[in-house]
Structure 1
Amino acid sequence: MTDASSTATPEREPIRVLVVDDQELFRRGITMLLAAEPGIEVVGEAGDGIEGVELAESAAPDVVLLDVRMPRRSGIEACVEIKQAVPSAKILMLTMSDEEADLYEAVKNGASGYLLKDSSIDEVAQAVRVVADGQSLISPSMAAKLIDEFKQLAKPEREQVPGLRLTDRELQVLRFVAKGMNNREISKQLYISENTVKNHVRNILEKLQLHSRMEAVMYAVREKLFELP
């Protein structure tokens, strides 16, 4: 007879979140709401970029929520330093700024997500889970702006790898990533498993010598591998 305890699925560790925002009421509110979410643990909060970097180094969170506009050190600057100090940490910008330049700078400097502060708590909690899982997420209202920004970019300084070729399936996956879809949504569109989607994304990044999904989209648009609508 098999011991039931030996076959039980181990409980997943909670996602450790650090909240960095200079607006105290908003910061406290989002901290309380996220702490009540299943599978999420808030490990600290900070009121500016400098304190946020220091806390990230000591707490080693899985996800850092960063405001863009903060005193002493901006969220973009903090994003860069946190990625250097804690490479495993995923950065989710949560801000009032709907400026294309802020969005582009955040993505360029390693942010995995960009949400506006008018998002619901359910949307923020879901975004935390998505970026913790290694995916990217951008507010729908900002996705079109990001695509427009990509279109304006000059050719990258990086020389294209000789003989670089993405398969038709990889290009399909990349198009859906560009539309802001996560792995589950892409798997439903292409009738393939989520693991297969993950493998395609990994292959795309390896071929393009890039580090994130959003960088891959930027590269593809710059190199005219496909045209966005």
Structure 2
Amino acid sequence: MPPLPDPSEREPVRVLVVDDQELFRRGLVMLLGVEEGIDVVGEAGDGIEGTTLAISTAPDVVLLDVRMPKRTGIEACQSIKEAVPTARIVMLTVSDEEADLYEAVKSGASGYLLKDSSIDEVAQAVRVVADGQSLISPSMAVKLIDEFKQMSKPEREHVPGLRLTERELEVLRLVATGKNNREIAKDLFISENTVKNHVRNILEKLQLHSRMEAVMYAVREKLLDLP
């Protein structure tokens, strides 16, 4: 995972935990609560309560289960992003179904972790997405890359109306390989801030919500050359 600033040098990341499994949720709240630089501001047992709490607490990061009663995690993700656009969503689930991953990304999620992740991995994921980056479990990343390859096989066609510059396409291709901003900056001999600006411009031009969604769009529109 990408290196981040010392937690002592930044404001605590405010986290909301939404999961219908009480034992898992309480354990996660307790473990995250002792992590340096993370402040758990609330917990909820279903998607509706989670959305309400997100509106009242305005967290930096929301950890959402995918499958919950009353309102699913995917539906809650959409609702929270509409109500609190600054909130970053990380799906934390037992589901390793590609369909759930794609729906989560389309709904604006910035991360997708499986529940067999360690608490260190979850805490680091919280910090990574709070810093504006995206993250998915390695096993899901493999599935995503495989799907990218399948989607890329048809003959490529020009996409009318696309306004990405050559440099933005270079950045997008590197994002697709899983590289973080610092690694992309090193590869292209530009500053990390310049990379962030390029990523922001890419999202704005494509009217998308996250780096992962931008990559999925680019693959679907046959803009990337994946091995």
Superposition TM-score, scaled by structure 2 size: 0.86
CA distance in 2, matches of 1:188, 1:140: 23
Counterpart residue type for residue 81 of structure 2: K
d(CA) in 2 for partners of 1:145 and 1:214? 13
1:1-229 counterparts in 2 under 5 A?
Answer: 11-150=9-148, 151-152=150-151, 162=161, 164-167=163-166, 169-229=167-227
Q: Which runs of 5+ in 1 are unaligned?
A: 1-9
Which structure is larger by alpha-carbon Rg, 1 or 2?
Answer: 1
Amino acid at match of 1:129: R
Q: How many residues align?
A: 215
Q: Percent identity among equivalent residues? A: 79
Amino acid at match of 2:199: V
SS of the residue aligned with 1:64? strand
Q: Which aligned runs of 4 or more in structure 1 are off by greater than 3 angstroms? A: 147-153, 188-192
SS of alignment partner, residue 226 of structure 1: coil
Q: CA RMSD in A?
A: 2.2
Instruction: Give the conservation status (yes or no) of the 8 Å contact 1:143–1:179.
Output: no
Name stretches of at least 5 consecutive residues in structure 2 with no aligned partner: 1-7
TM-score, with length taken from structure 1: 0.86
Q: Find the counterpart in structure 2 of residue 6 from structure 1.
A: none
Change (3 A) 1:165 1:66: closer
1:161 is displaced (CA, Å) by 5.5
- Given residue 134 of structure 2, which amino acid in structure 1 is its aligned partner? S
Deviations 1:59-100 (A, max 9, x none): 111100000011121111111111111111110001110000
